Amino acid sequence: MHKQVEQIQEATVLFAGDSGDGSQTIGTQMTETSAIVGNDVATLPDYPAEIQAPAGSLAGVSGFQLHFSSENIHTPGDTCDVLVVMNPAALKVNIHKLKTNGILIVNSDNFARRNLRLAGYEDNPLEDDSLTKYQVFPVELTRLTGKALEATGLSTREIDRCKNFFALGMILWLYNRPMEYTMRWIKTKFAKKPQYIESNILALRAGNTYCEATEQFATSYEVKPAQFASGKYRNIEGNMATVLGLITASHQSGLQLVYGSYPITPASDILHGLAQYRNFGVVTMQMEDEISAVGVAIGAAFSGALGVTGSSGPGLALKSEAINLAMIAELPLIVCNIQRAGPSTGMPTKTEQSDLLQMFYGRNGESPVPILAACCPHDCFETIYEACRIAVKYRTPVIFLSDLYIALGAEPWRIPNLAELPKIEPNFQTEVGGFEPYLRDEATLARPWAKPGTPGLEHRIGGLEKSDITGNVSYDAENHEKMVGIRAEKVARIAEDIPPTEVFGAPEGELLVLGWGGTYGTLRTSVEHKIDEGHAIAHVHLRYINPFPSDLGEILNRFKTVLIPELNSGHLLQLIRAEYLVDAVGLNKVQGQPFQVFELESKIKSLL
């Protein structure tokens, strides 16, 4: 029968089920397909913290939210148009995210009494009136998948694992997406297990045919391609953008990349990603603990390589003494902190921005370190590249901040031309005559970078205070104060190397929304909406947090009110108030979840 096709501007889909139900897999495939057909996309994977949570439990629910559009978008969406749930627990955890009159696709085969009890339901929500405000479509996903694959010879368990592709086939039909890209991925993924190629493709087709042959959905939807600047694009996650940024910095500088790490969520993917690029001269070392991981990176920096280490908040607590060593030894070191909800182990698979003050002050003594923060997945490439440039130019550790929301999210990324990138020039000391290990560059105050073992360039490094110029160990009081001042001034001078701050919206007016990190998309979207309503407001998002841009104070003074939304208790708010004596207003959320656009718009409305 002929089905009506309705053109829409955007859609948000959320897949949810047990961690073994394949929600992440089909969410990623829907994302890749949407990107390939030309939509702008933004994603939010949501993993359970438990490795093997009990099946059907609330703690074991895994989700993947995708927002795709024919217009430029910044967030994975507040609420979803379609929610696909594999069991009652997934429904219980995510039903509040579905819009009124949204489409709810339910694997009704899993709504047996036991699973309902595990999710905390007294009655079956498919049979009472609790879901009347949604368009509910119960589908026997498990039975129908089994029927479609009964001739494959697979076991019942193997067949059951294919039901996620049945669900994906339905969603591809609902939004008029082609199946060919997913089929190609299945053939590559299961190249060594051809029996799974046939079964998953059959399930995918069965889900698509089910929608075509039944009257479940009277309408399908079409989202036209978005308009992008010309260039070559790929879909990219934040951690992979970080990987490629580091490799590019290594290539552009001519420095070998050495990455020392210890596995931790959500930073581990950087280690995994870099390990795949050994053919580019990348050295990855999975160490026995966080301290040795940063130690090997410092050793690499001393020897003339691009030393990098990465972790999350708990690991950075352990690395703090060694970062101090790199700071006082004045060696280029890149420290990646992919933040998650704390304190301590906290909530390892949830997002937060609560490490900012730790990065500023979490070291003993006077220990200033530059801090840069990426704002979205593709921005990780430019930000980590810039962190490498600053570290090499100024001979200092640099902290790169991302967070779980950025690291695991995905969006289109325009692959840059290498000629567009700023130069990274190590400028190793080679001249023996006149060499002193702490003789300063007049502009940057950087000391020479001399490779150990070079005749005539022997010098000391270490954690003890050094004498100005000579680098000899010194306990002189005045020399210590002078060296502390020099190291602080060196970091402060980086502000002169920062481009002018972008102000989106009104150059002056009622309200400035100031943010950093992964809140970018929500803040930009909220400000765009208010500008469209005629308000004189603006948005500034900081990449450079230490030092602040030299023009930031002047920008702040052009607005009556400054609002600083953060996924913490007010870290940037404290820093801005202290530095600029501006009575900024905070909006704080510490729930392990990102801001929703409506939360920002409500706060902006109250201030206006």
Between the alpha carbon of residue 513 and those of residues 518, 522, 559, the distances in Å are 14, 11, 10
- The answer to whether residue 354 scores a pLDDT higher than 60 is yes
Section 92-117 average pLDDT: 96
Taking 3-state DSSP, the helix, strand and coil percentages for the chain, each rounded to the nearest 5, stand at 40, 20, 40
- Output Rg (C-alpha) for the chain, integer angstroms: 26
Q: Spell out the domains of the chain, with CATH numbers in brackets.
A: 4-223 (3.40.920.10), 234-420 (3.40.50.970), 504-607 (3.40.50.920)
- The region, left, alpha or beta by phi > 0 then psi within -120 to 50, assigned to residue 443 is alpha
- The answer to whether residue 42 scores a pLDDT higher than 60 is yes
Q: How confident is the model at residue 233 (pLDDT cuts 50, 70, 90)?
A: very high
Note the pLDDT of residue 180.
97
Note the pLDDT of residue 539.
98
**Of 376, 380, 374, 339, residue with least CA distance to 358:** 339
Strand extents, DSSP E, 287-344: 306-311, 333-339
Note the pLDDT of residue 217.
87
Phi, psi angle pair for 66, to nearest 5°: -130, 130
Section 58-76 average pLDDT: 95
Note the pLDDT of residue 251.
97
Q: List, as one string, the DSSP characters of 534-601.
A: T--EEEEEESEEESPPTTHHHHHTTEEEEEEEESSSSHHHHHHHHHH----EEEE--SSSPPPHHHHH
pTM, 2 dp: 0.95
Note the pLDDT of residue 606.
97
Distance, in Å, from the CA atom of 568 to the CA atom of 204, rounded to the nearest integer, reads: 42
Q: Are 259 and 270 in contact (CB under 8 A)?
A: yes
Classify 136 as helix, strand or coil.
Answer: strand
Distance, in Å, from the CA atom of 262 to the CA atom of 337, rounded to the nearest integer, reads: 12
Q: Are 32 and 181 in contact (CB under 8 A)?
A: yes
What's the mean per-residue pLDDT of the chain? 96
- The answer to whether residue 215 scores a pLDDT higher than 90 is no
Section 411-440 average pLDDT: 95
Distance, in Å, from the CA atom of 584 to the CA atom of 579, rounded to the nearest integer, reads: 12
Residue 554 neighbours by CB under 8 Å, 6+ apart: none
Q: Which residue has the tokens 């509910």?
A: 136
Section 515-536 average pLDDT: 97
Q: Which residue has the tokens 């897949």?
A: 15
1 or 512, which is more confident? 512
Q: How confident is the model at residue 216 (pLDDT cuts 50, 70, 90)?
A: confident
Q: Which residue has the tokens 């955890």?
A: 93
Note the pLDDT of residue 74.
95
What angle in degrees, to the nearest 10, is found between the helix axes of 163-174 and 180-189? 160
The predicted-structure confidence for 369-416, as pLDDT tens digits, reads as follows 999 999 999 999 999 999 999 999 999 999 999 999 999 999 999 999
Note the pLDDT of residue 2.
62
Distance, in Å, from the CA atom of 583 to the CA atom of 563, rounded to the nearest integer, reads: 10
Note the pLDDT of residue 54.
82
Q: How confident is the model at residue 51 (pLDDT cuts 50, 70, 90)?
A: confident
- The answer to whether residue 1 scores a pLDDT higher than 80 is no
Section 280-291 average pLDDT: 97
